[in-house]
Chain A
Amino acid sequence: MNPRARLLLGALLAVLLLLPAFASNYVISVATLILYFAFTGQAWNVMMGFAGQLSLGHSLYVGVGAYVAAAMFVNLGIGPWLGLWVAILVCMALGAAIGFLAFRFGISGVYFALLTIAFAEFTRVGFDHLQWTGGSGGLFLKVAQREQMDLLNFRGPPAMYYYAILALAAGALALCAWLLRSRAGYYWQAIRENEEAAQALGINTFRYKMFAVLISSAMTAVSGVFFAFYYNNLFPEQIFHISRSIEIILGPIIGGIGTLFGPVLGAFVLTVLADGITELLALFGVEVPGVKQVFYGVVLLGVVMFLPNGIWPSLAKKIGVGK
């Protein structure tokens, strides 16, 4: 990283740290959402952007992570700090199972992507009928008094959630930066670019693909736990839905797949865009449902067509920072 990039990153972090001091609750909620997508996008990016394994079913890990921690909390009275670890382990086990099956049976590309969708959908319908977690009726966490901070149970004011997700997003960024410069990071990129050549250079491709899936599923599980305790209600129909998986991967793709800041930038652009469109439509008094999503789709189409590598690579060049 060059000095200029360091300076910009430091400034960004400072602004984000101080944000709750001067921003309204609305701004904080938007910022929380951005950081949530930045974090989750980063997790997906490890698998696809780094290791080249296209998952279209990441809602599986968000949903299972959320449900495990929330069900333990609601049904068994076990707090999120323990639930988090259980959620991570369960999601890693799921990721390992899917990865093992796919990679051992030589499933790749579009087929791998469809397999991940199938697992997510399968689980969605399963949770629809799992009475222990409320079935399709949903699972609800009691909304505690938002003024009081209860770190033990992860209940508290918006700023608490904001700082938690900020720490997660920053941590994920640091982790990914470190991973990319590690042997595993190089090996992932080699596998992404050409698996046969990677193997000829001594890389156990099965093991490293599995490693990518495990890291990604563990990170996404954390994102699910955050989701559960921030939104307080979970419906299989929503959390496992394929549109959720798509939502997760939009950020990294728009921002720049395989880059470190792509997921962050993409999350920012998309969330601000979505909110901006809502505001704009409200300003003009348009109240037709769907207008917002159409705009959204058109912008997406434009980015995909004209910035195939995402926004970050060209932006990075303009502001004079490296990758």
Chain B
Amino acid sequence: MPSIDLIANVVVAGLLTGLVYGLMALGLSVIFGVVRVVNFAHGEMMTIAMYAAVALFGAFKLDPFLSVVPVAIVFFGLGYAMQAGLINPFITRPEHSQFMLLVAVAIIMVNVLLMIFGPSALNVQVDYQLESFELGPVLFDKARMYAAGMALATSAGLFAFFKYTSTGKAIRACADNNLGAKVIGLDVKHLYALTFGLGSACVAVAGCMMILLVDVVPTLGPGYTLLAFVIVIIGGLGSMPGALFGGILIGVSEALAGLFFAPSAKSMFGFALLILVLLFRPQGLLGRKP
């Protein structure tokens, strides 16, 4: 039996990582909630953001916290273009058709990364990765703290955008009642593209933060895609607080599973939780009943 101190440390680390997961999942949730398309290339986009941070660090010694800005802006543009050019024509197509489209995109993304960066693991090294705050027996990794803080701040920004800006409100109107939104003259396709852009920007920030915590290889993509699904469904598809809550839940459960069982078994708990949630609370833990 591991000591209480160790457990506390692991839980804290899991919680902080979980917030970064949550931000990634938030992107997926926002996209699904509005556009009603499941982004099967979500994890691949996450790895692209991680590589972007690696490249910027390699070329300009740019700290990932500074990379966040250019990467998020570029991702917003790419996301907008992807929705406007690629996905909008697929909105009315059957689900399997949308799925295939995004799978094709995901395959291309993974392998372009492989072509450019090769198969070996890459990371960034900054000095605060080795430092930590101490609070009694519990250690808070500085990098993890900062990353989690950034994830929270970005999420808060997104919440505020949807709550207070007229564009945010228009997007929510789109999600609630697509036809109604069209009737009152909203440019639904533009709003969809905007949403995809915002979701992509979330992933960009999450990716830049994640590279502070783990190494990146091109094949990480599908795993992150699945992780994002699990989190979003557990939290409640379309529920923004649900995504963060689900992220924390998965982050902590992964950390504990790694401690008590084998690190390789950690995803099993997420999937078990997912199956239970789908069966008994399909709207998710924080989702509204349809």
Contacts and interface: CB of A to CB of B under 8 A. Distances in A.
A101 interface: yes
A176 to B, nearest CB: 18
A165 to B, nearest CB: 25
A117 B108 contact: no
B158 to A, nearest CB: 23
A106 B279 CA distance: 9
B115 interface: yes
B278 A111 contact: yes
B101 A291 contact: no
B264 A129 contact: yes
A308 B49 CA distance: 31
Contact of B265 (A110, A128, A257, A305): A128
B97 A304 contact: yes
A289 B119 CA distance: 8
Nearest to A252: B96
Interface string B224-264: 00100110010000000000000000000000000000101
Given A128-B265, A136-B264, A301-B105, A48 B114 contact: no
Contacts of B262: 129
Contacts of A242: 222, 226
B264 A125 contact: yes
A115 B96 contact: no
B104 interface: yes
Contacts of B222: 241-243
A56 interface: yes
Given A257-B96, A294-B112, A301-B105, A115 B265 contact: no
Given A129-B265, A289-B114, A113 B104 contact: no
A1 B210 CA distance: 57
B111 A294 contact: yes
A107 interface: yes
Contact of B100 (A110, A119, A293, A304): A304
B250 to A, nearest CB: 13
A320 interface: no
B118 interface: yes
B85 to A, nearest CB: 11
Contacts of A117: 226, 229
A95 B262 CA distance: 28
A308 B115 CA distance: 29
A253 B100 contact: yes
* Chain A interface, >50% SS class: helix
* Chain B interface, >50% SS class: helix
Contacts of A241: 222
B114 A290 contact: yes
Interface string A113-125: 1110111011001
A300 B107 CA distance: 9
Nearest to A288: B115
B95 A118 contact: no
Interface stretch (B52-60, B141-149, B266-274): B266-274
A121 B275 CA distance: 11
B258 to A, nearest CB: 13
B182 to A, nearest CB: 23
B91 interface: no
Contacts of B14: none
Contacts of A297: 104-108, 111
Nearest to A48: B96
Interface in A176-203: none
Given A105-B282, A117-B229, A289-B119, A301 B108 contact: yes
Contacts of B114: 289-290, 293
B84 interface: no
A253 B100 CA distance: 8
B101 A301 contact: yes
Interface string B161-189: 00000000000000000000000000000
B115 A118 contact: no
Contacts of A128: 264-265
B110 interface: yes
A308 B119 contact: no
A243 B40 CA distance: 12
Contacts of A125: 264-265, 267-268, 271
Nearest to B113: A290
Nearest to B219: A243
A107 B111 contact: no
A323 to B, nearest CB: 19
Contacts of B96: 48, 54, 249, 253, 257
Interface in B52-100: 89, 93, 95-97, 99-100
B271 A293 contact: no
Contacts of A114: 229, 233, 274, 278
Interface of A: 48, 54, 56, 101, 105-107, 109-111, 113-115, 117-119, 121-122, 125-126, 128-129, 136, 241-243, 246, 249-250, 253, 257, 288-294, 296-298, 300-301, 304-305, 308
Interface of B: 38, 89, 93, 95-97, 99-101, 103-108, 110-115, 118-119, 218, 222, 226, 229-230, 233, 262, 264-265, 267-268, 271-272, 274-275, 278-280, 282
7 contacts: A105-B278, A110-B38, A118-B278, A121-B267, A129-B264, A305-B101, A308-B93
Given A129-B264, A293-B108, 11 more contacts: A105-B279, A107-B279, A110-B95, A111-B278, A114-B229, A118-B275, A297-B104, A297-B107, A301-B104, A301-B108, A304-B104
> 7 tightest CB-CB pairs across the interface, nearest first?
A290-B114, A290-B111, A297-B107, A297-B108, A293-B111, A300-B104, A125-B268
